[in-house]
Chain A
């Protein structure tokens, strides 16, 4: 919302400076977004008279003008200006931009230049070049009596500071200058000048009627016809103000409705009566009905949207934008003026559905004062008759008579108990009074009448806000939040603590944490999907459309970008959610760690020689270490298949606790998947399903079990087995361990070999077994017995002890 200081002063009697006003606006919740003076942008443009105009010697469409720009320009001597405007002629008065001036519409600085051999010392400007209107057919023509040499900004009343204020969606009243003046007056910056609507003397009955066929969308319409108007340009002062508000002057009738909207926050509409066919009707739109709106765009309307139409079709999208068909032109002589009360929700829905933003919509959807309808009609009528001439008809009113204003029961003690600010009751009452609330004090509780322009006030806390915002939030003293009783307890949940440990562990192991988008290109998301994806209806782009079903796609893409930038070793991880579906239609968001290893694990170096690429065991090492950090029972995990089709089928696995609970998957990414991400060379990945890790049992104390190291030294024994090529080492180790659970405390593969000495189709696995004597040292017989049982257990897998 933009408005100028002089405009504000029409409504606020004040001595405050623009700077003081600016500070106060922000302090009371009308956030100042900027303050400018348009005159600054028009420096260098002045009123000038064309003395002579002759055809350019070398160009058909150009003229060479001699221009008087006043005593200060060119030492008072006339300037030579080349001009292409058809209306440039000797004797006319216009606006000259001197060298050095910046053209507002283009931001270009003007220079003395030769145009087809004739040096031009300035430019006669059109209103569009000055950013003051749409007219580009010719240069600006000013009345002959304007003093030559005067700064154009002074002449056009543009030397007037302009405030740009952001109005919150709860304040329809401050969508007009008068409401802003009221707030400033309440905050002690002056006195609000009351509204004095003109008295209209109707001369005839209205020439057309209007009816409402959609009472739920439109509760009242007030209108009248005015005949015999002359729709020329609006007066300069009005144009200046509209320009300050960022509006382009169009014609007197349109400008007047805009001016009243900006002054009182009240939109209205003027129809050219000649274009109407039959009575106007406020009705629901019919599916597929179209309207060409005043912004020159055609809108296809849907069932339920509200329109104002006549026998021939739609004229106006109710509360949002008028139609081109009944717009006023220079030829307009009789008009129908309409002020209506539309349902805010309906306007908001329609506006959103049509993606159509307008000044009217932003006011209607905030909710307008039903009591202001007749006042607005008279103000508009008065201005039209005054500026455009004509005679007003009697008013017609259809719809419901507005209800009495609402009242709120208010305990002034709430200002301190909720607002935290002790304000004397008299000051509270004075503030409400200046905001034109009607306070009736009856003992401790007050009855407060709410003005019609404040639909946002619906309870006592709103009144607290009104009082403290006008009094000043800076007056609220800080009060320490009471400490909770007892000593500190963990404030993070077990899952959050797990997440933090895993994050720090991953970083400590040399991995960098990334945060990637939650949304992915659908094709990449689909490649990792196990169930229907969550896909946005209104994504910002196709690449950000599907919610990630895995953390790996985002990381693979990031790894690719890093490699493309020249990174040689990429270790990226992320902890976040993957988005699945729950049975009840809500989301199942699973806390997950993704990790990608790409490029070299070890750069070439003088100690070990060549660079070494990452392999699947690097992924396994990360998976186990991070599961361990998360508190998972890593010793009990099984390595199983089915990491997913995104992984290399022979070089990937899952880590499971029991056959069903998958805690992690890891391994080499499938070359086809890598290709999808433009990744060349082996890429490893880990996905850790943090939420699948069983939580530590609650209620466990802090004390550990007593330390009881074994009294007797453990014994190491090595076994080398021949097994078939496809026997998993893990299975062999598990079998060995199970051979004598009492004495075998550890079994570890320390060698794998195939080749010379090992039959085809077989491999040799060497296992180091740690035997722990319990009560007494092992005898030779004991050790032989254990060895035999190990060999026997292994033989069940087809393993044969090597001789």
Chain B
């Protein structure tokens, strides 16, 4: 805002008589007058008029400054700093006043712009991920840490992969227990087509395609012609398979313990292996996990044998039957390992507290939002594979 200091344009030979006499008195009067008018300027326009009156081309102070050129050296030395100081002082005062006026103007404008922020934002759709998908991602994450690849296979299977190769030849009594959905169709090899009753045929496909060693999990849809309060004709299973040279049931036990501890994020998971029978494993074991009732809900943890606890069947497992390995063209004297299968919907229910399996497949938005997961709630080992209540979408 300050005007240019000094001026080579001024004629140094001239001086104004008015200044010769009492420049001090004049400048004091001008200062008082200017400062008073600046202080009383109420708008940017009024202030600008003050500026023009004093510092404009024909302004009082500008005119005085023009006289400097006509003064002699001694006079100029005395009057120069005085006049320049006056100009600076007035210019600064104008600048300061301008800031006050501008700021007040902005305050007024902002006050006018005030809005009611208690009004709602535009409604936004909130999406979610189905618990079955979330749990499948959790499983993949947990087993990735143990080196298991995620494999898949067809849901419309042939009876060789679903039964025969798994040591369930035609009329094996276990076939009847599977409540199989059949198609009237056969494939080009004359095999009966059916809906896979378990994810175990993926074992066969993995071994046939890639040989050994194998470490896979295979999550997916499975089907049995069974429908009641706790069974749906479609459900989800995850299969696990490890084939290597020196794998035994101790490894199976550790893997299942590690998996369930990671899945439920609890160290007090206690498993009970019960001898059982599956045609595709030998020895076979069903796996129960200890739980207690808290607020009417099953909570996994603790031994099922302690007071107030019980055992809940969660898995079928065993050492892969030699006939199965043989059916996949691997040498059962060289390769052995374990397999397990587990209901995903059931795992989800146990972890996240749903009570009704049937509602999994209804597509009810209220249920999906209640039990679903936020899009960015991606299970990671670093962040925890589980999603705590309250963090869900």
Question: Which chain A residues have a beta carbon within 8 Å of chain B's beta carbons?
Answer: 26-29, 31, 168-171, 344-346, 348-349, 351-352, 365-366, 416-421, 456, 459, 461-462, 464-465, 468-469, 473-474, 476-484, 488, 491-493, 496, 500, 503-519, 534-540, 544, 547, 554-555, 557-559, 561-562, 565, 567, 569-572, 574-577, 579, 584-587, 589, 602-603, 605-608
Contacts and interface: CB of A to CB of B under 8 A. Distances in A.
B283 A509 contact: no
A421 B221 CA distance: 35
Contacts of B182: 536-538
Contacts, number: 278
A555 B365 CA distance: 12
28 contacts: A27-B275, A29-B276, A31-B274, A365-B171, A366-B173, A417-B248, A418-B336, A419-B248, A420-B251, A461-B319, A465-B284, A476-B249, A479-B251, A493-B150, A496-B150, A510-B124, A511-B127, A512-B128, A513-B128, A517-B233, A534-B185, A534-B193, A535-B184, A540-B225, A572-B365, A577-B155, A585-B187, A589-B155
B333 to A, nearest CB: 11
B293 interface: no
A420 B249 contact: yes
B285 interface: yes
Contacts of B254: 478-481
Chain B residues touching A, majority SS? mixed
Nearest to B190: A585
Nearest to B378: A504
B129 A504 contact: yes
Contacts of A562: 363-365
Interface in B173-203: 173-174, 176-177, 181-189, 193, 195
What 9 A-B pairs have minimum CB-CB distances, sorted nearest first? A510-B125, A558-B363, A29-B275, A420-B250, A465-B283, A168-B277, A587-B156, A469-B275, A507-B375
Contact of B276 (A168, A419, A589): A168
Contact of B248 (A345, A479, A539): A479
B123 interface: yes
Nearest to A366: B173
Interface string B270-291: 0011111100001111100000
A737 B133 CA distance: 42
Given A420-B251, A585-B188, A567 B363 contact: no
Interface stretch (B31-39, B56-64, B138-146): B138-146
Interface in B220-250: 221, 223, 225-227, 233-234, 242, 244, 246-250
A579 B125 contact: no
Nearest to B360: A515
A349 B373 CA distance: 47
A514 B369 CA distance: 10
A504 B375 CA distance: 5
A171 B184 contact: no
Nearest to A477: B250
Given A345-B170, A479-B251, A606-B119, 7 more contacts: A27-B275, A468-B283, A480-B251, A488-B145, A515-B360, A519-B234, A602-B122
Nearest to A513: B130
A469 B283 contact: yes
Contacts of A584: 187-188
Chain A CB within 10 Å, residue with most, of B145, B186, B283, B361: B283
B370 to A, nearest CB: 11
A171 B176 CA distance: 16
Instruction: Report the interface size class on chain B.
Output: 35 or more
Interface of B: 119-120, 122-130, 132-133, 137, 140, 143-150, 152, 154-156, 158, 170-174, 176-177, 181-189, 193, 195, 215, 221, 223, 225-227, 233-234, 242, 244, 246-255, 257-258, 272-277, 282-286, 319, 321-322, 336, 360-366, 368-369, 372, 374-376, 378, 393
B126 A513 contact: no
A503 B131 CA distance: 12
Contacts of B225: 538-540
A534 B374 CA distance: 35
Contacts of A168: 276-277
A575 B130 CA distance: 10
Nearest to B282: A461
Chain B CB within 10 Å, residue with most, of A352, A420, A547, A559: A420
Contacts of A574: 363
Chain A CB within 10 Å, residue with most, of B133, B182, B284: B133
A255 B311 CA distance: 37
A534 to B, nearest CB: 6
Chain B CB within 10 Å, residue with most, of A346, A534, A586: A586
B323 to A, nearest CB: 8
A481 B120 CA distance: 55
A207 B152 CA distance: 63
A471 to B, nearest CB: 10
A168 B128 CA distance: 42
Given A461-B319, A589-B154, A589-B156, A507 B129 contact: yes
B392 to A, nearest CB: 12
A589 B275 CA distance: 36
A606 B119 CA distance: 8
A547 B119 CA distance: 48
Contacts of B277: 29, 168-171, 456
